[in-house]
Amino acid sequence: MIRSSLLLALAIATAAQATAPHSDFKLTLSSTPSTPAARRARLHSSMSSLASSTRRDASNVTSEPLFDYFNGTDLQWYGDMTVGTPPQNFTVVFDTGSFTLEVPGTACGAACANQRQFNSSASSTFLDQNSSSTITFGTGVGVDPVVGDNWQLELELVADTFSIAGMTIPFGGFYLITNQTPTFLPDPFDGIRGLGPESAALFADGGYPAIFGMLFVPESEGGQGELTLGGVDTTKFSTSLLFSPQVGDGNWQLASEGIFVNRKTASILQNNLTLIFDSGTSNMLFEQSIAEAIYGMISPDIAPNTDEPGTYGIACDLIPTLPAVIDITFAGISGQDAFNLTIPSSELSSGPFTKKPELCQTLINVSEGFNLVGLSLLKHYYSVWDIDNQRIGFAPNGF
């Protein structure tokens, strides 16, 4: 079965910090770089004149196409960026569940054979920070839960120039992948570019306002989406944006005021929940009690698949007969009422299990201690991630 989607929460901005202000359920980080103040100074002061000379006007807005990795279901949307001088081309998942950039380096060799690898010796602006780390992901690329440490990267902290859709960071810290578990090898993209709620420095270094818009177009509608940096592409939606305020620190999180299934609810679904919003996650993750309450209101035939702990499924021939509309209510910002975001019935199935093709995996996996909204919802909306004002906005994308 295709693995669970990317979810990275490495608590290091462009200049490598040693402590993480946000939750670490997503990964384990070892060998964190020491003396962060000294490393920040090396990253920023050594090329401050270059950075200041390339600042852009605050009105800048730029866009980058996103392409759907489809493998039975919509898994990830990814786009282009460049690293180094002269620029070397890479594709990355633009991930609201993380903060940093990771791309393969030549040291990764055969372990990254299907991905492009950054040649640091070919870049005149490259700086090695001489620090290594290992990260273990809580989810991978797809819709299945992670098992143990089967999604793991070995990293080297470095610095160089990089550019996304014309937004150039003259000198910033990032990670080269020096080794990876075989689970990453089939990915059609090279790396990850984090866009978490504490990514203001990335936009400041590029001279753009700290706001971005995301459109994820399903394979059934052509599969091409869009990332807009520094603003919003108003041509991609026709109704007013509805915003909900960010709560807590570290992850993009909104406060849910209730969950409804086919316009009905249960007492456990009316408890206030903090939901993480992550463009790097393919499906949905809820604590077991919440997941089973939702499934119980869709069909009593939805049951755990013991072959793949954490997943649930139902006979594939029953899927078309089941209404499964999930509405989640969110608080509005000042001057806006609460509003619903809807996951349609078409998202119920994530496709057949490989070992049990008569059984289709359903969209919610069980998590341990957190609740997360992924692309099952996000691909039905144009979303606006407002870093400066710490809020997320939504408008139906019309598909």
Q: How many residues does the chain have?
A: 399
Alpha helices in the chain (DSSP H): 36-45, 48-53, 200-206, 288-298, 375-378
Quick check: 179 and 102 in contact, CB under 8 A? Answer: no
**68, 74, 144, 278: which one is catalytic?**
278
In terms of phi and psi (left: phi > 0; alpha: psi -120 to 50; beta: otherwise), the region of 216 is: beta
Residue 104's H or E segment, with its range, is strand 101-104
The token pair that represents 96 in the structure block? 């609201």
CA distance 144 to 307: 11
- The HSE-up count of residue 173 (CA atoms within 13 Å, CB side) is 29
First and final C-alpha spacing in the chain: 27
Pairing of strands 359-362, 303-304: unpaired
**68, 95, 144, 187: which one is catalytic?**
95
Place of tokens 């786009």: 79
- Residue whose C-alpha is closest to residue 389's, from 227, 194, 257, 232: 232
Active site residue 278: yes
CA distance 168 to 166: 6
Active site residues: 95, 278
